[in-house]
Structure formats: structure tokens, C-alpha cells
């Protein structure tokens, strides 16, 4: 594994989750992502993974000052980068991301190199983890009550 030598000699693995404003035309999102990736690489970042931005509804309305007026957003393009970078360089990367006029919000976290992402959507368990014979059957509330009563009496 290649180690990056930086000013202080220390590196860390980071993840940046970011939201781009929803008023950005869809055809320009890829270009914005490329410019953000270039910021990381220019600062000596070694890319580990990323997810391209996807338009998603926000849990609450966010306000961003654009020019002289405030604009409200209830959707945003969410994406993330995972990378290794010298610890002395993370602050300049964060400031460069924040300077992007299409950036609504970002979050930088320390993480590990290993893939810890389980996926956005949780589906049924994989068959090799829970074979069909191990999947529980649906039981009535009365049957569950009887089973619990029997366990309590045994204890």
C-alpha cells in the first residue's frame, strides 16, 4: 500500500459527504464532481472511493445566501469521497470545498480505509446468510404470548 508523505509526515483516511444545491442543472453536476475530485488530488489526496451525487430530498429546508438574497433548498445533490490525505492538508481541502458556490453543506470525518458502507437501501438478507429454512414463519400474537409465558415459567 502506497503511503503519502506530507508536510508533517502523517496521513489519515477521510470521508467528505457533500450537498450541492438543487438549482444546479443536472448536466453540470458531473463537472462539479470532477472539480471537487481535482481539489483532493491537487492537495495530494489518494482516492479510495466515491459515490456520484444524486438528487435527494432533504430532511429540512436549508438556506444559502447567493448574491444578495437567501435561497431555500428542500432537495440537494448528495455525494461523497473517501480518500487518504496528509493531516496538514485537510483544512485547505475543506476550505476549497466550502468556497465552491454550488456547495450547500459538507461534512468531513476521519474514517478507516476498509469499506464500511453497507448501502443506502436495506433489502432482504442475502440467502447465504439466512437460508430459506432459517427464515422465521409468521406467528400470531396469541402464539407469541403463549411462548413467552412458557419461557417465563421455565425461568
Q: How confident is the model at residue 150 (pLDDT cuts 50, 70, 90)?
A: confident
Residue 53 is predicted with a pLDDT of 96
94: phi > 0 → left, psi -120 to 50 → alpha, else beta; which?
alpha
Could you give the 3-state DSSP secondary structure of residue 127? coil
Which stretches of 12-155 are DSSP H helices? 26-42, 90-98, 141-154
Distance CA 59, CA 70 (A): 19
Distance CA 37, CA 50 (A): 9
Tell me the pTM. 0.68
Class level of CATH domain 11-111 = alpha beta
Q: How confident is the model at residue 139 (pLDDT cuts 50, 70, 90)?
A: low
Of the listed ranges 27-36, 39-48, 127-136, 143-152, the least confidently predicted one is 127-136
Residue in the structure block whose three cell numbers are 442543472: 25
* Listed residue (98, 81, 100, 101) closest to 40, CA to CA: 81
Task: Report whether 19 contacts 76 (CB < 8 A).
Answer: yes
Amino acid at each position: 500500500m502506497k503511503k503519502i508523505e506530507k508536510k508533517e509526515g502523517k496521513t489519515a483516511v477521510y470521508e467528505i459527504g457533500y450537498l450541492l444545491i438543487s438549482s444546479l442543472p443536472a448536466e453540470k453536476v458531473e463537472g462539479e464532481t470532477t472539480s471537487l475530485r481535482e481539489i483532493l488530488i491537487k492537495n495530494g489526496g489518494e482516492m479510495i472511493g466515491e459515490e456520484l451525487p444524486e438528487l435527494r430530498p432533504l430532511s429540512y429546508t436549508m438556506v444559502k445566501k447567493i448574491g444578495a438574497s437567501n435561497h431555500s433548498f428542500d432537495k440537494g445533490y448528495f455525494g461523497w469521497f473517501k480518500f487518504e490525505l496528509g493531516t496538514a492538508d485537510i483544512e485547505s481541502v475543506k476550505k476549497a470545498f466550502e468556497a465552491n458556490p454550488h456547495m450547500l453543506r459538507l461534512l468531513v470525518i476521519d474514517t478507516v480505509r476498509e469499506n464500511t458502507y453497507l448501502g443506502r437501501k436495506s433489502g432482504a438478507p442475502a440467502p447465504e446468510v439466512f437460508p430459506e429454512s432459517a427464515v422465521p414463519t409468521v406467528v400470531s400474537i396469541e402464539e407469541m404470548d403463549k411462548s413467552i409465558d412458557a419461557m417465563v415459567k421455565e425461568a
